[in-house]
């Protein structure tokens, strides 16, 4: 397969991925804005991969199919997860390391507990693990939506990240309200709010009368401080939410306490 | 489907899950030890689900098939991810909330960066999100292995967690060396070490001469402090590694710094 060669003519080399799939509206909107500030290449799943978390494909092979955006943007559709896409892009499909990885624009918010289920965030996490500045961007609505402003903001924050740099091991998780630019009040730096999915399973029967289960549920917010990322607080109040994310999961408070348990072999 | 009813005769109600699948050797070893201290029910994937991270199944339905362990331990084989198994168990398959969830025993370590890819850890994370004390246990070898001591230690740490309790939002990630009890030197409380998978893709061709890619690679350790969980430090030095894990991913240092970026809408 022919690997992508950046032309070196444009200022920035930008890799775009997502979890909604390469055919999604949000990735097109992102490509169209980011190509204004750099050379864009897209490596994204060939189908919906929402809520795959940080899954990677080890037990099966994956494939990549060349895919053209507007005839002049190179893309590859991969039959894997968002993390697979980023790994394959960096390790094989691109001839050079990009300056930044932008994942999105997701259709639906990725805030609070959803961050750990999110494929959008996971593509950016994988980029960060590989040492590349990475950001995840979501439009906070599951309804019909207009990506215009979200894409424009994505362009500006991409420029800012390229200029200011991110600390090693840190990515930005950005959620944008689904309203027009004039309605947006500003930007809030947030922390990941506490919440859980109050799941239920819809119990159905197949034509052979056998039961199957379909996950459904509502996000239950457990944390309503004003600095949290949860939609009810930041996004529904018309602020763009930006949460810096890292992936050292150690609970350092408990790390100290656990030593007092004096656990024996 | 008939839901599992705990008999209330035994002291503890224990839910077991894993990511290696309900047929794996490690889950049998765990069941056989934990049934000594409580009533065990198993809800686990019907096939290998390693490295699925915190994936959940939203776009497709899932099924559960009753599965008997030794004729007297109830089990359900689920065609979903480890997180799906825990959700379905708690929300439908069990008539009561268990006292603890134990995920494992995984065949292979889950340390350092592997923690975020791990299905074993993700089953315990899902339990923790749902407010149930949860632990993840792995035997640190990918070779042939003997789960005897790891299962025995699992029983003891399960008792200790039930006695001492865990803070809300915290789980324990335990990695046990693949050696005999007499060779093990003790227990180390560890933090998640820095590392990355130095991935390569094996490039192959199918019978139609089309390329496909298979992920392979080695774990590259970036952090060799003596208190890290990484195999080279804790496990290969013959210590059991116990890392307290939480899932607030906010980077609080960057949270403060990011406010100074003065990002405009």
Instruction: For residue A177, give how far its alpha carbon lies from the nearest alpha carbon of chain B (Å).
Output: 11
Q: What strands, in cross-sheet order, belong to the sheet with A38-45?
A: A64-69, A73-78, A38-45, A12-17, A100-107, A134-139, A171-176, A239-245, A186-189
Q: Which residues does chain A have within 8 Å of residue B92's beta carbon, measured at their own beta carbons?
A: 201, 203, 213
- b/e B11-50 (16+ beta carbons within 10 angstroms → b): ebbbbbbbbbbbebebbbbbbbbbbebbbbbbbbbbebbb
User: By the CB < 8 Å criterion, does A204 face chain B?
Assistant: yes
Return the pLDDT at B70. 75
Residue scoring higher pLDDT (A8 or A34): A34
Task: Estimate the share of chain A in helix, then strand, then coil, as percent rounded to the nearest 5.
Answer: 25, 30, 45
Could you tell me which residues are beta bridge partners of residue A144?
Answer: none
Q: Which residue of B has its CA nearest to A171?
A: B251
Beta carbons of B191 and A255 less than 8 Å apart: yes
What ipTM was predicted for this assembly?
Answer: 0.91
pLDDT at A225 over 70: yes
Sign of CA dihedral B192, B84, A128, A225: negative
Closest alpha carbon within chain B to A192: B250
Neighboring chain B residues of A180 at a CB cutoff of 8 Å = none
CATH number of the domain at A12-192+225-259, please? 3.40.1210.10
pLDDT at B220 over 70: yes
- Give the mean pLDDT of B228-241: 84
Say yes or no for a CB contact (<8 Å) between A244 and B265: no
What's the distance, CA A31 to chain centroid?
15
Give the model's pLDDT for residue B69. Answer: 83
pLDDT for residue B197 is more than 80 = yes
Query: What average pLDDT does this structure show over B33-49?
Result: 95
B125 touches chain A (CB under 8 A): yes
- The pLDDT tens digits of the residues spanning A115-167 come to 999 999 999 999 999 999 999 999 998 777 899 999 999 999 999 999 999 99
Split at pLDDT 50, 70, 90, the class of B174 is very high
**pLDDT for res B189:** 95
Residues in chain A: 265
What is the pLDDT, as a whole number, of residue B144? 73
DSSP string across A146-205: --HHHHHHHHHHHHHHHHH---TT-EEEEEE-SS-GGG--EEEE-BPPPEEEEEEEEEEE
Closest C-alpha to A54, from A151, A160, A171: A171
The answer to whether the CB atoms of B187 and A130 lie below 8 A apart is no
What are the sequence ranges of the domains in chain B?
Answer: 12-192+225-259
- pLDDT of residue A253 exceeding 90, the answer is yes
| pTM of the model as a whole | 0.93
Confidence of residue A52 (pLDDT cuts 50, 70, 90): confident
C-alpha A41/C-alpha A89 separation (Å) is 9
Nearest by CB: A248 against B192, B197, B257: B192
Distance from the B71 Cα atom to the nearest Cα atom in chain A, whole angstroms: 23
Per-residue pLDDT tens for B64-108?
A: 999 988 778 889 999 999 999 999 999 999 999 999 999 999 999
Looking at residue A10, its pLDDT comes to 67
A59 touches chain B (CB under 8 A): yes
Residue A20: pLDDT band (50, 70, 90) is very high
pLDDT reported for residue A125: 97
pLDDT given for residue B10 in this prediction: 67
Taking all residues of chain A, what is their mean pLDDT, rounded to a whole number? 92
pLDDT band at residue A87 using 50, 70 and 90 as cut-offs: very high
Neighbours of A155 (CB within 10 A): 18
Q: Using H for helix, E for strand and C for coil, what is the string for A132-156?
A: CCEEEEEECCCCCCCCHHHHHHHHH
Share of chain B above pLDDT 90, in %: 77
Stretch 64-123 of chain A: residues touching chain B, C-beta under 8 Å? 64, 83-84, 87-88, 91-92, 113, 115-117, 122
Listed in order, strand segments (DSSP E) in chain A are 12-17, 38-45, 64-69, 73-78, 100-107, 134-139, 171-176, 186-189, 195-205, 211-221, 239-245
Mean pLDDT computed over A247-261: 95
Nearest-CA distance B8 → chain A (Å): 25
Mean pLDDT within B140-158 = 91
Question: Nearest CB to A187: which of B184, B187, B265?
Answer: B265
C-alpha to C-alpha distance for B142 and B114, rounded to whole angstroms = 14
CB contact under 8 A, A1 and B252: no
Is residue A222 classed exposed, middle or buried when 0-12, 13-18 and 19+ CB atoms within 10 A define those classes? middle
Query: Hey, is the C-beta of B199 within 8 angstroms of any chain A C-beta?
Result: yes
């Amino acid at each position: 397969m022919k690997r992508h060669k950046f032309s070196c003519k444009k200022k920035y080399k930008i890799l775009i991925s997502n979890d909604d799939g390469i055919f999604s509206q949000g990735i097109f909107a992102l490509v169209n804005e980011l190509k204004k500030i750099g050379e864009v290449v897209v490596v994204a799943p060939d189908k919906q991969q929402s809520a795959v978390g940080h899954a990677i494909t080890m037990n099966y092979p994956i494939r990549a199919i060349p895919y053209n955006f507007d005839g002049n943007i190179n893309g590859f559709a991969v039959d894997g997860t968002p993390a697979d896409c980023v790994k394959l892009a960096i390790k094989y499909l691109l001839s050079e390391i990009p300056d930044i990885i932008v994942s999105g624009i997701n259709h639906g918010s990725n805030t609070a507990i959803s961050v750990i289920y999110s494929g959008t965030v996971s593509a950016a996490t994988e980029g960060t693990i590989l040492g590349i500045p990475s950001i995840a961007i979501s439009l906070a609505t599951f309804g019909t939506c207009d990506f215009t402003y979200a894409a424009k903001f994505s362009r500006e924050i991409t420029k800012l990240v390229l200029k200011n740099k991110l600390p090693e091991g840190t990515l930005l998780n950005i959620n944008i309200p689904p309203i027009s630019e004039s309605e947006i009040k500003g930007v809030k730096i947030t922390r990941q709010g506490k919440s859980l999915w109050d799941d239920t399973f819809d119990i159905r029967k197949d034509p052979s009368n056998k039961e199957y289960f379909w996950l459904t549920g509502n996000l239950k917010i457990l944390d309503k401080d004003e600095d949290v990322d949860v939609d009810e607080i930041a996004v529904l109040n018309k602020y763009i939410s930006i949460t810096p994310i890292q992936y050292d999961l150690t609970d350092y408070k408990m790390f100290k306490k656990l030593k007092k348990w004096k656990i024996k072999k």
